[in-house]
């Protein structure tokens, strides 16, 4: 179906028309937001149904000239890497808007508008096949999230949102310089391009030094977005201050834009750059690949260690994201099919599970208005349904076999062990630590003596159940039977691993 991907990206923006008609009515605005996101989810499922499993390349490609003077085009396409992330985005949008039904009572219309713009940006990031187009959507995600945290967030929201924007922007502007440099390197004037598929065939024009610099420029942007240790410091602040739905989207999708960028662009386009060594003070030379792998393992252990000592529930989940994202970079950069498949599954599953965890924390906060673990306790007695959901997601997050969190981490560890046994062994400690901090947290929050003040608080309401059920169902389903996902992603990932490991033939140094 031609135009399907364009439709998926721009249906949320088209939602501005009914949103404007819902003039200032909070209820109608929320209904419009949910309705539009459901329509978009349906269309993305149509795309998933039409997706041909087993083909590694891009499908449903659309191409229109955008800046013919420079040879830049509006180009979209979907492959095994992006198709799941698109559906995940559409799903989490529905979930977060449903979850906003009760908590958001001020400036509702603007809130829905911000989310709709955000959705367009996120979907565009995963579907764009032109680097400029990708960058446009990458930045389009920024301002709505800036407003979502800054307007509807907690007490320190302004500090948190400015930190979030400045961190992200510093990285992405350097990536813009990198993109322009890639454009200039892509051929003689008049034949230059930023089309991803074209660029893959022109990698021989990129000398090693160029690939190294370009990789660093791209990697910085993605490392900040993901976030990788030591660029993660914006994340806990942003998560703690963001409204629940903002946290769901931030953890579920926005971070994935970083992981997606690594796998889609940085690895296949600049494979020589990754293997290159750069001069570094004190140690002399460092290998970039080794640096990324080391930082990934550090992120896994550091994230877990810091999560263990968190007193704030939301901060704990935020730091656990740092650890989980460490698995993503680890799996992507061990450069084998298993590791990369694990990384992609980890992204999808982390999106579902951590989104759900933030939702649960938000539900609990709505009622108790407490986020400090020490202030909570004994809630399991009063909230049986909530306890069931929360427990399920906690177990999935710590990687219990049979639930979806296990599959990705397991594949990443297998891939890492194949690459380097010591590295895999250290990373495995992170899985154990996850069990420690998550179960300990669960015990302190849900069991023990119940506070008098919480005795009358109600269990989950209908809107919350509607938001939780699809996440819970997928958590179980994808844990028991992940094979369909692997069938979808594997052909594409095999080709990406091949691109990332084969040497790019270096002809002449172009400049």
Partner 1 sequence: MNDLLAILPELAVTLTAAVVLVVDLAVKGPGRLRALSLVALAGLLVAGIAARPGVIVTPYTAFNGFVVVDEFTQFFRVLFIVLAFIAVLAAEEYSARRQLPYAELIATLLFSTLGAMTIALSGDLITLFVGLELMTIPVYVLAGMQRRNPFSNEAALKYFLLGAFSTAILLYGFAWLYGLTGSTELRGIAAGLASTGLTGPVLVALALVTVGLSFKAAVVPFHQWTPDAYDGAPTPVTAFMSVAPKAAAFAAILRLVGVALQPLQIDWTVAFAVLAALTMTLGNVVALAQPSVKRMLAYSSIAHTGYIAAGVAAAQAGPQAWAGVLFYAFAYGLMNIGAFAALMVLDTEGTRGAALDDLRGLARRAPWPALAFTVLLISLTGLPPTVGFWAKVFVFLPALDAGLGWLAVIMALNAALAAYYYLRVVVYMYMLDPEGAVPDLAPARLVGAAVGLTAIASIVLGIWTDPLYSWAVSAAAPILR
Residues in the site for partner 1, rule: CB under 8 A? 66-70, 107, 110, 132, 135-136, 139-140, 142-143, 146-147, 150-151, 157-158, 161-162, 165-166, 169-170, 173-174, 176-177, 180-181, 183-184
Q: What is the smallest separation between the CB atom of 243 and partner 1, expressed in angstroms?
A: 13
Q: What is the smallest separation between the CB atom of 148 and partner 1, expressed in angstroms?
A: 11
Nearer to partner 1, 241 or 312 (CB): 241
Both tokens of residue 88?
A: 């995940």
Q: What is the smallest separation between the CB atom of 407 and partner 1, expressed in angstroms?
A: 36
Nearer to partner 1, 147 or 251 (CB): 147
| Contact in structure between 194 and 131 (CB atoms under 8 Å) | yes
Rg of the chain (C-alpha set) = 22
Both tokens of residue 8?
A: 């998926």
Residue in the structure block whose two tokens are 């992405």:
172
Nearer to partner 1, 10 or 440 (CB): 10
Nearer to partner 1, 2 or 68 (CB): 68
Nearer to partner 1, 142 or 407 (CB): 142
Nearer to partner 1, 210 or 229 (CB): 210
Q: What is the smallest separation between the CB atom of 189 and partner 1, expressed in angstroms?
A: 8
Nearer to partner 1, 161 or 387 (CB): 161
Nearer to partner 1, 101 or 135 (CB): 135
Query: Burial letters for 385-397: b for 16+ Cβ neighbours within 10 Å, e otherwise?
Result: ebbebbebbbbbb
* 3-state SS assignment for residue 335: coil
Nearer to partner 1, 165 or 413 (CB): 165
At a CB cut-off of 8 Å and minimum separation 6, what does 383 contact?
457, 459, 460
* 3-state SS assignment for residue 78: strand
Do you find a cis peptide bond into 227, omega within 30 degrees of 0? yes
Q: What is the smallest separation between the CB atom of 176 and partner 1, expressed in angstroms?
A: 6
Q: What is the smallest separation between the CB atom of 24 and partner 1, expressed in angstroms?
A: 10
Q: What is the smallest separation between the CB atom of 138 and partner 1, expressed in angstroms?
A: 9
Q: What is the smallest separation between the CB atom of 368 and partner 1, expressed in angstroms?
A: 26
Q: What is the 3-state secondary structure (H, E, C) of 6-69?
A: HHHHHHHHHCHHHHHHCCCCHHHHHHHHHHHHHHHHHHHHHHHHHCCCCCCCCEEEEEEEEECC
Q: What is the smallest separation between the CB atom of 139 and partner 1, expressed in angstroms?
A: 5
Nearer to partner 1, 111 or 333 (CB): 111
**Helix (H) or strand (E) run with residue 279 in it:** strand 277-280
Q: How would you classify the pairing of strands 284-287 and 277-280?
A: antiparallel
Q: What is the smallest separation between the CB atom of 157 and partner 1, expressed in angstroms?
A: 7
Separation between Cα atoms, residue 307 and residue 324, nearest integer Å? 12
Q: What is the smallest separation between the CB atom of 247 and partner 1, expressed in angstroms?
A: 18
Q: What is the smallest separation between the CB atom of 70 and partner 1, expressed in angstroms?
A: 7
CB 17: neighbour CB atoms within 10 A?
Answer: 10
Q: What is the smallest separation between the CB atom of 16 and partner 1, expressed in angstroms?
A: 12
Separation between Cα atoms, residue 162 and residue 229, nearest integer Å? 20
Separation between Cα atoms, residue 66 and residue 282, nearest integer Å? 47
Angle between helices 234-241 and 157-185 (to 10 degrees): 130
| Contact in structure between 26 and 113 (CB atoms under 8 Å) | no
Nearer to partner 1, 41 or 133 (CB): 133
Nearer to partner 1, 77 or 150 (CB): 150
Q: What is the 3-state secondary structure (H, E, C) of 477-492?
A: HHHHCCHHHHHHHHHH
Separation between Cα atoms, residue 48 and residue 63, nearest integer Å? 20
Listed residue (265, 261, 276) closest to 499, CA to CA: 265
HSE, CB side, 13 Å, CA atoms: give it for residue 453: 7
> Exposure of 503 by Cβ count < 10 A (0-12 exposed, 13-18 middle, 19+ buried)?
exposed
Nearer to partner 1, 120 or 490 (CB): 120
């Amino acid at each position: 179906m031609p135009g399907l991907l364009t439709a998926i990206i721009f249906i949320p923006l088209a939602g501005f028309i009914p949103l404007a008609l819902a003039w200032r009515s909070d209820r109608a605005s929320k209904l419009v937001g949910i309705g539009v996101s459901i329509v978009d989810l349906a269309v993305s499922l149509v795309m998933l149904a039409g997706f041909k499993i087993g083909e590694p390349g891009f499908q449903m490609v659309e191409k229109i000239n955008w800046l013919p003077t420079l040879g830049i085009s509006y180009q979209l396409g979907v492959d095994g890497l992006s198709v799941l992330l698109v559906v995940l985005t559409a799903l989490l949008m529905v979930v977060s808007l449903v979850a906003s039904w009760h908590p958001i009572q001020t400036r509702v219309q603007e809130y829905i508008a911000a989310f709709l713009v955000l959705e367009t940006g996120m979907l565009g990031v995963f579907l764009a096949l032109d680097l400029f187009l990708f960058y446009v959507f990458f930045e389009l995600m920024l301002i709505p999230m800036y407003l979502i945290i800054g307007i509807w967030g907690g007490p320190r929201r302004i500090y948190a949102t400015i930190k979030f924007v400045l961190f992200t922007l510093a990285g992405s502007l350097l990536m813009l310089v990198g993109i322009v440099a890639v454009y200039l390197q892509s051929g003689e004037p008049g034949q230059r391009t930023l089309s991803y598929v074209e660029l893959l065939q022109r990698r021989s024009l990129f000398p090693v030094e160029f690939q190294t610099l370009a990789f660093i420029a791209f990697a910085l942007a993605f490392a900040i977005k993901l976030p990788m240790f030591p660029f993660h410091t914006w994340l806990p602040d942003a998560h703690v201050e963001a409204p629940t739905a903002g946290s769901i989207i931030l953890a579920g999708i926005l971070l994935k834009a970083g992981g997606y960028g690594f796998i889609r662009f940085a690895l296949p386009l600049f494979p020589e750059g990754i293997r290159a060594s750069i001069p570094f003070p004190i140690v002399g030379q460092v290998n970039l690949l080794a640096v990324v792998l080391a930082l990934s393992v550090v992120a896994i252990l550091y994230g877990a260690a810091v999560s263990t000592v968190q007193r704030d529930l939301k901060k704990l989940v935020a730091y656990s994201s740092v650890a989980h994202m460490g698995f993503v970079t680890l799996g992507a950069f061990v450069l084998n099919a298993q590791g990369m498949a694990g990384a992609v599954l980890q992204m999808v599953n982390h999106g579902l599970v951590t989104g759900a965890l933030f939702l649960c924390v938000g539900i609990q906060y709505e009622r108790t208005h407490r986020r400090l673990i020490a202030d909570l306790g004994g809630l399991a007695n009063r909230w049986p349904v909530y306890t069931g959901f929360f427990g399920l997601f906690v177990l999935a997050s710590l990687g219990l076999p049979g639930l979806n969190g296990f599959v990705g981490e397991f594949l990443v560890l297998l891939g890492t062990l194949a690459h380097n046994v010591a590295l895999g062994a250290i990373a495995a400690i992170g899985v154990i630590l996850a069990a420690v901090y998550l179960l300990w947290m669960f015990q302190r929050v849900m069991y023990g003596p119940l506070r008098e003040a919480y005795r009358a608080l109600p269990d989950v309401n209908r809107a919350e159940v509607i938001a939780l059920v699809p996440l819970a169902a997928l958590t179980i389903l994808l844990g028991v039977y992940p094979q369909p996902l692997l069938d979808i992603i594997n052909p594409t990932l095999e080709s990406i691993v091949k691109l990332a490991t084969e040497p790019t033939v270096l002809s002449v140094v172009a400049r």
